[in-house]
Amino acid sequence: MPPKREPSLLRRWTAADLVMPREPIPAGLYLVLSVGCFAVLLLLWSILTYGKFIDPLFLPTPGRVFQAGVDLFVEFGFIFDILNSTYRVLLGFVIAAILGVPLGLLMGTFKMAEAVIEPIMGFIRYMPASAFIPLFILWLGIGDVQKVAIIFVGSFFQLVLMIAVVAKSVPKDMLETAYTLGAGRVQVIRKVLLPASLPGMVDTLRIIIGWAWTYIVVAELVASSSGIGYMIISAQRMLRTASIIFGILTIGVLGLLTDYGFKWLYRKLFPWVD
């Protein structure tokens, strides 16, 4: 095992150490820089708005946005919008995953499946999910089904292709080793290909759910009566800029939380990953 780095306090870091390509930096400094970036943005925002450099109609102050958030929760039942959106995202994502993961694995494992699936998936994934909205309204109406369908279209095709890449990247030597140890075809798939693909699969799902969060707004901006996207579009009609910004920030936070959730799950499930 490579020797552990000395604790940052004991080590003398020179300025040159800190800008070495890909070399580690003290953990404390890392945290300060990460938080600092948020702080600087907030500061910049504050200066621009409290200093009255910008019309509050375009960019309200952080305080106004916070107040708008409180109002949204207290008076407008924003929590139900959040729950609605979350429900749609999760449903679309789960359906995409349930269908997409096996299909992707199939495609990454068997050349026959690849020949059938890859060209069509590669073609459809370039069609923007938002362009399906008018079509889905026509087909499915303006209820939850249509929203979920948009999420599904936005995630499914990418998911299949990415899962296939994960399955394909399992080293062939590993499969061959299993054969020489007496494993049959089915055992090689069940006992080697699947477990070897699992971390990559979870990581792919993490990325895909991030995209699903961005599609929900697109889906809810048009012909909707609830959800975060609906709140944003209604706020725009009333020129409540602070609410728009709060809505956008909410989605950012939700996306970040899901991301951390998946990362936590990944570490719990796969302590063996290098």
Partner 1 sequence: MNDAAKLHIESLSKTYAGDGHVVTAIDRIDLAIQNREFATILGPSGCGKSTLLRIVAGLAKPTEGTVWLDGRAIDGPGRDRGMVFQTYTLFPWLTVRENIQFGLAVSGVDRVRQEQIAQEFVGKVGLKGFETAFPKALSGGMKQRVAIARALANNPAILLLDEPFGALDAQTRSLMQELLTQIWEELHITILFVTHDVEEAIFLSDRVFVMTARPGRIKAEIEVPLERPRSYEIKTSETFLRLKQRALALIREEAIKATQHQDTE
Q: Could you list the residues that contact partner 1 (CB under 8 A)?
A: 1, 171, 173-174, 176-184, 187, 191-192, 195-196, 198, 270-274
Residues of 42-64 as b/e, b for ≥16 C-beta within 10 angstroms? Answer: eeebeeebeeeeeeeeebbbbeb
Task: State the nearest-atom distance from the C-beta of 182 to partner 1, in Å.
Answer: 3
Task: State the nearest-atom distance from the C-beta of 195 to partner 1, in Å.
Answer: 5
Task: State the nearest-atom distance from the C-beta of 103 to partner 1, in Å.
Answer: 23
Q: Work out the number of other CB atoms within 10 angstroms of the CB of residue 101.
A: 19
Which residue, 95 or 183, has its beta carbon nearer to partner 1?
183
Rounded Cα–Cα distance for residues 80 and 86 (Å): 10
Task: State the nearest-atom distance from the C-beta of 187 to partner 1, in Å.
Answer: 5
Cβ within 8 Å of residue 71, ≥6 positions away: 243
CA nearest 92: which of 152, 142, 154, 147? 152
| Separation of first and last alpha carbons in the chain | 12
Which residue, 14 or 180, has its beta carbon nearer to partner 1?
180
> Cβ(93)–Cβ(151) under 8 Å?
yes
Task: State the nearest-atom distance from the C-beta of 10 to partner 1, in Å.
Answer: 25
CA nearest 64: which of 228, 241, 239? 241
Task: State the nearest-atom distance from the C-beta of 181 to partner 1, in Å.
Answer: 4
Which DSSP string do the residues of 97-136 spell out, in sequence order?
HHHHHHHHHHHHH-HHHHHHHHHHHHHHTTS-GGGGHHHH
Which residue, 59 or 183, has its beta carbon nearer to partner 1?
183
Which residue, 200 or 247, has its beta carbon nearer to partner 1?
200
Which residue, 122 or 184, has its beta carbon nearer to partner 1?
184
Which residue shows structure tokens 């951390």? 260
Which residue, 42 or 174, has its beta carbon nearer to partner 1?
174
Task: State the nearest-atom distance from the C-beta of 180 to partner 1, in Å.
Answer: 4
Which residue, 21 or 182, has its beta carbon nearer to partner 1?
182
209 CA to centre of own chain = 4
